């Protein structure tokens, strides 16, 4: 399983971003943001690319991960390390509850119900001022003393993201992942051969929500603050763009998409407020010229280029020669 080398790419990405730590605070922050968004995109693609589920509420779990840590730290006062452990667990439990209702539906109905649940979570967070701070969010989050130095936290982010990435890769290449792809291609046939479709969809929905919660937790610790916008539906649209841009049927596609979208957001936003328009134009061009995503299209072209040329058929050659004799 490990011989395919996908995990080597994850380690290579971690090394590259480790090198970015030497380039100053801005690039360190940018590098960590890219890695966190890559984990968020990988968690979403577990639903979209592997299972064929289009969720419009995935950002809610990203926000819940950050808010769980923030509320435990500010309202309960539990130690930061305990909060780091509890945040993804709480997020996975909420994803389990939401998924229990959503996986009963299919197609556009599933997508709309995830959007509804996501907006309910966002609205409660946005309007409950006495508990969540409303649109003011929660700022000044405490962190474990060991993770306060930026360099230490960068190493922590790299370790967590790479570990989660390897876990997701192994999951996608396991018999469980194969069952997900069978469900994606033909749900009725999967049920016919005995695959428990609803149960597996609930499991993968919970797992994806849990990993999104880890990404949200890392993002909250990076910025030491959380806001309701972190779980707004537009955040789901952004991670959907990341997956489509890189290629939903490749493991590294969402990682590449997260890198492109995040870097463009940082770079273009410093020059113009219309960075979303520019990003949309880039996405349109990529859809036209890379219909399978950047990574997927490049892999397809590389496969055709490296494929051995077809050998001439003996029958075709004999037929040509025979035809020449008849004409002569």
pLDDT string in tens for the chain (328-residue length): 444 555 565 666 666 666 666 777 888 888 899 999 999 999 999 999 999 999 999 999 999 999 999 999 999 989 999 999 999 999 999 999 999 999 999 999 999 999 999 999 999 999 999 999 999 999 999 988 888 888 889 889 988 998 999 899 999 999 999 999 999 999 889 999 999 999 999 999 999 999 999 999 999 999 999 999 999 998 999 999 999 999 899 988 999 999 999 988 888 877 777 777 887 887 788 878 888 888 888 877 777 677 666 656 555 444 444 444 333 3
Q: What is the pLDDT of residue 14?
A: 63
| Whole-number pLDDT of residue 325 | 36
Tell me what pLDDT residue 274 has. Answer: 75
Would you state the structure tokens that stand for residue 48, as one six-digit string? 């979209």
CB 227 within 8 A of CB 211: no
Q: Quick check: pTM over 0.85?
A: yes
At 328 the pLDDT is: 38
Whether 118 and 108 have beta carbons less than 8 Å apart is answered as no
* DSSP letters for 8-42: HHHHHHHHHHHHHGGG-HHHHHHHHHHHHHHHHHH
Would you state the structure tokens that stand for residue 41, as one six-digit string?
A: 């995109």
Alpha helices in the chain (DSSP H): 6-20, 25-51, 58-71, 80-102, 107-127, 129-132, 150-172, 175-185, 187-192, 197-223, 233-246, 253-269, 275-289, 294-306, 314-327
- Looking at CATH, the fold of the domain delimited by 2-289 is given as ABC transporter involved in vitamin B12 uptake, BtuC (1.10.3470)
The residue ranges of every structural domain in the chain are: 2-289
Which tokens is 207 given?
């797992």
At residue 91, the pLDDT reads: 97
Taking the CA atoms of residue 71, residue 72, residue 74 and residue 78 in that order, the dihedral angle to the nearest 10 degrees is: 180
How far, in Å, are 16, 36, 120, 155, 263 from residue 27 at the CA level?
12, 14, 35, 14, 10
């Amino acid at each position: 399983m490990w011989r395919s080398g996908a995990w080597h790419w994850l380690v290579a990405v971690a090394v590259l971003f480790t090198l970015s730590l030497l380039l100053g605070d801005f690039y360190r922050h940018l590098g960590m943001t890219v890695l966190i968004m890559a984990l968020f995109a990988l968690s979403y693609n577990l639903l979209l690319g592997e299972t064929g589920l289009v969720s419009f509420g995935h950002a809610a779990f990203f926000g819940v991960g950050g808010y769980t840590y923030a509320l435990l730290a500010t309202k309960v006062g539990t130690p930061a390390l305990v909060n780091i452990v509890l945040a993804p667990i709480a997020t996975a439990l909420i994803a389990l509850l939401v998924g229990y209702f959503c996986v009963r539906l299919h197609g556009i109905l599933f997508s709309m119900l995830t959007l509804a649940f996501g907006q309910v979570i966002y609205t409660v967070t946005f309007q409950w001022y006495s508990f969540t701070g409303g649109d003011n969010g929660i700022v000044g989050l405490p962190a474990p003393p060991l993770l306060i130095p930026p360099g230490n936290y960068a190493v922590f982010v790299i370790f967590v993201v790479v570990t989660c990435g390897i876990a997701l890769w192994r999951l996608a290449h396991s018999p469980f992942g194969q069952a997900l792809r069978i469900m994606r291609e033909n749900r009725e046939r999967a049920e016919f051969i005995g695959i428990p479709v609803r149960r597996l969809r609930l499991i993968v929905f919970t797992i994806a929500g849990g990993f999104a919660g880890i990404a949200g937790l890392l993002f909250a610790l990076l910025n030491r603050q959380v806001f309701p916008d972190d779980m707004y539906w537009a955040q789901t649209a952004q991670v959907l763009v990341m997956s489509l841009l890189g290629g939903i049927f490749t493991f590294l596609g969402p990682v590449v998409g997260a890198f492109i979208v995040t870097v463009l957001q940082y770079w273009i936003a410093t020059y113009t407020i219309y960075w979303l328009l520019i990003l949309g134009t880039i996405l349109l061009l990529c859809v036209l010229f890379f219909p399978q995503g950047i990574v997927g299209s490049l892999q397809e072209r590389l496969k055709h280029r490296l494929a051995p040329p077809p050998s001439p058929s003996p029958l075709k050659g004999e037929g040509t020669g025979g035809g020449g004799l008849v004409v002569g």
